[in-house]
Chains A and B, each alone.
Chain A
Amino acid sequence: MAIIERPVPVGVPDIPAPATPTRTFGALRRPVATTGWKSWVFTVDHKKLGIMYGAVAMFFFIVGGIEAVLIRLQLAAPNGKVLSADVYNQMFTMHATTMVFLFVMPMAAAFANYFVPLQIGARDVAFPRINAFGFWTLVGGGIIVNLSWFFGGAADGGWFMYAPNSGPVFSPSNGVDFWALGLQITGIASLTGAVNLIVTVLNMRAPGMSLMKMPVFTWLQLVVQFLLLFAIPVITVALFLLSFQRSFGATFFDVSAGADPLLWQHLFWIFGHPEVYILVLPSFGIISEVLPVFSKKPLFGYPFVVFSGAAIGFVGWGVWAHHMFASGLGPVSVAVFSIATMAIAVPTGVKIVNWTMTIWGGKLNFTAAMHFAIGLVVLFTIGGLSGVTHAVAPSDTQQTDTYYIVAHFHYVLFGGAIFGLFAGFYYWWPKMFGKQLNERLGKANFWLMVIGMNMTFGPMHMIGLQGQPRRMYVWTEARAGEGFFNLAFWNRVASIGSLVLSIGVLLFLINVVKTARSKQVAPLDPWDARTLEWMTTSPPKEHNFDAIPTVHHLDEFFHRKYAQDPVTHEIKQVATAEDIMRDQEANADKHIHMPSPSYWPIILAGGLPVIALGVIYAIPVAIVGAAIVVLAMYGWSLEPSTAPDTDFDPPASGDGTKELAPLG
């Protein structure tokens, strides 16, 4: 990948421009590799970073999935012997932590990184180096969180890490330290990503694209990034307090020292509830793209989807205490949070109606992506309805800490968030890699996942209401109850379901490998899509668009392909995707300066895990880490984000590189 992608005459392949970079910070020359691993490790290209986010997230999905299967194997039979009580605690804690922080969030970030700039017609994000920094920070955080497995045991207090389980008495290993510091680091990644994407969406839109002409996926990502921006600092405070307690002897959550354990619960859930929407809104965005495309209809009630998304984002801040109804908040608090929680079901319901009305009367094309999108609507509705039962405080008191809760959040997170992400895989794969995933395997993938997920989590409603507590590491025949359909039966069903689910995911991986080996190239516009990301090559060139499109409509790409006949009012195709591409190439922008690769993001990100290890084991190591961070910050601030004109061979034309961003 060249530092600078020169516009080349149509038909001539891109030739990487050799460059002699000036030294930055007197020490390092800019990386210039255009192929091989260096072109990935030091890249600031949002598309490469998006793919790397996706690969890392997929790795952690497999790790988290194995953890889940181990949990279900332990519970498949009475007196399970697969895991000890201690390892079981670590397993469910790390399963949740991995799935939430290291799979769903990074995978949503992968799609955001890749597609938000493309959907708004931009060449990259506002701060490309911060983007690279965010990715490597996530990697560092993920490593720290998981490193604890090899250093005396992982965190074992549940993903919400309530006191006193998080304290040294109940969790004597270093697991919780690794967990707290690792999540602190991934928090930095999310925060920088949030600032970056908000600025990108507000500032980098193609000419004519007002906010209400933005694709819904971009809109909901904007809401998500605002949620991250304001929620991450809250968990930061909580994690700092926890680290200070464990590493420096403070007693913030120690009841014997007069502390209030509810402090942690509040801080955690003030973050934790917006977090739930952070997890699910990106998937809502994805299916709001997928459903219209495969129904051949515009999204029903676009402004309602947008504003209900914003409303969810706002009301999501006022419902956190419904996670704490059983903790003795007092009647006033319970009543207030109960009502707020019921209220938030309304904007969510609005979305369900919009999606249903989008499909209604459409010419449906049941592709794998469409399967997953419809699957989301159905399964999320089930999860949403069981969620409303939690809003009713007396009923919630009955359900708290039972498998009913486990059933609920797996329907919204697996049936909601993850199904949306899979819809995204099948829909956008041809755009990202230029090849289509196999549709037949995709549908098999879908059906196995639907059946597996309902077998696994459906019975949990029943065993939960019958009183099986969550987080118990073993059940006995004596307490399984009577009759054939007792707890034992449903636990076995759930465990078999988890295997079916795993085979479904395995089919996806097989599909990926099969597609990568296949030579069949995807057409330019395989789905007859509606939004700007399809108005370029697949995969897109480094500079995304030869000419930045001027936007006149919501669903701009659709409106360039189709027009209404003024007499008959029939909608007719007036151009093909190929025509539009040819037009783009013919009018290509002359001088395109792309941001240049840099060493500093990965160096800066690399200092953070060193600090974390130092805090746990030896403070001098932390000082070394801090020194790396400070040094990298100086290097970063002194390095222009786009290489100077003189670095290029032949020297660049000089328009555009005089003013350089200190942050980008």
Chain B
Amino acid sequence: MTTTAEHAEHTGHEAHDEHAEHGMSTAGYVKVAMILAALTALEVATYFVDFGPFFMPVLLVLMCVKFFIVVSYFMHLKFDNKIFSFMFYAGLFLAIGVYAAFLATFKFFSA
């Protein structure tokens, strides 16, 4: 973060140009949405088709993939300054770590 702080010479206008650059084209967004829709369809399919032992892992992986697609592309974290990613992922991974430990003390995962 220190390095970013030292490159702090962006004026308001440069910051705005950066705005316009990052992100994707409309077609790109639609494509991402289609992928998300397909993944959702796959998720819902687990309800109708028996995936056997893969049921749980498939669902969890799909969930994570969808989550990170929305966060990276729609919320622009992939294109934006890394500080934003740090802010969000600090909260996210802290939450995952703390609550996983919390559920573990309830023997949630072994039940």
Are A329 and B105 in touch, CB under 8 angstroms? yes
Are B97 and A317 in touch, CB under 8 angstroms? yes
> Is A297 part of the contact surface with B, judged by Cβ < 8 Å?
no
Are A260 and B106 in touch, CB under 8 angstroms? yes
> Is B28 part of the contact surface with A, judged by Cβ < 8 Å?
no
| B2 in complex: contacting residue of A210, A321, A330, CB < 8 Å | A210
Q: How many residues of A contact B (CB 8 A)?
A: 21
Q: Which of A126-152 contact B (CB under 8 A)?
A: none
Are B105 and A333 in touch, CB under 8 angstroms? yes
Task: Enumerate chain B residues within 8 angstroms of A230, measured Cβ to Cβ.
Answer: 90-91, 94-95
Contact A317:B106 (CB < 8 A) given known A205-B5, A210-B2, A212-B2: no
Bound state CA distance, A234 and B98, in angstroms?
11
Bound state CA distance, A210 and B6, in angstroms?
6
What is the minimal beta-carbon distance from B4 to any residue of chain A, in angstroms? 9
* Consensus secondary structure, chain A interface: helix
What is the minimal beta-carbon distance from A486 to any residue of chain B, in angstroms? 40
Task: Enumerate chain B residues within 8 angstroms of A229, measured Cβ to Cβ.
Answer: 91
> Is A296 part of the contact surface with B, judged by Cβ < 8 Å?
no
Number of A-B contacts (CB under 8 A): 38
B interface residue count range (under 10 / 10 to 19 / 20 to 34 / 35 or more)? 10 to 19
| B101 in complex: contacting residue of A212, A318, A659, CB < 8 Å | A318
B102 nearest CB neighbor, chain A only = A266
Q: Which of B1-17 contact A (CB under 8 A)?
A: 1-2, 5-6, 8, 12
- Residue among B5, B98, B105 with max Cβ neighbours from chain A (10 Å): B105
Bound state CA distance, A210 and B1, in angstroms?
9
Are B5 and A211 in touch, CB under 8 angstroms? yes
Task: Enumerate chain A residues within 8 angstroms of B97, measured Cβ to Cβ.
Answer: 317
Are B106 and A262 in touch, CB under 8 angstroms? yes
Task: Enumerate chain B residues within 8 angstroms of A329, measured Cβ to Cβ.
Answer: 105
Contact A202:B2 (CB < 8 A) given known A230-B91, A270-B98: no
A234 nearest CB neighbor, chain B only = B98
A269 nearest CB neighbor, chain B only = B102
Bound state CA distance, A260 and B108, in angstroms?
13
Bound state CA distance, A266 and B8, in angstroms?
42
> Is B83 part of the contact surface with A, judged by Cβ < 8 Å?
yes
| A317 in complex: contacting residue of B6, B8, B83, B94, CB < 8 Å | B94
Task: Enumerate chain A residues within 8 angstroms of B102, measured Cβ to Cβ.
Answer: 266, 270
Bound state CA distance, A262 and B105, in angstroms?
10
Top 3 nearest A-B pairs (CB, nearest first) are: A333-B105, A211-B2, A210-B2
Known: A266-B105, A318-B101, A330-B107. 7 other contacts (CB 8 A): A202-B83, A212-B2, A234-B98, A262-B105, A270-B98, A333-B105, A659-B12
> What are 6 A-B pairs with beta-carbon distances under 8 A?
A202-B83, A210-B6, A234-B98, A270-B102, A318-B101, A329-B105
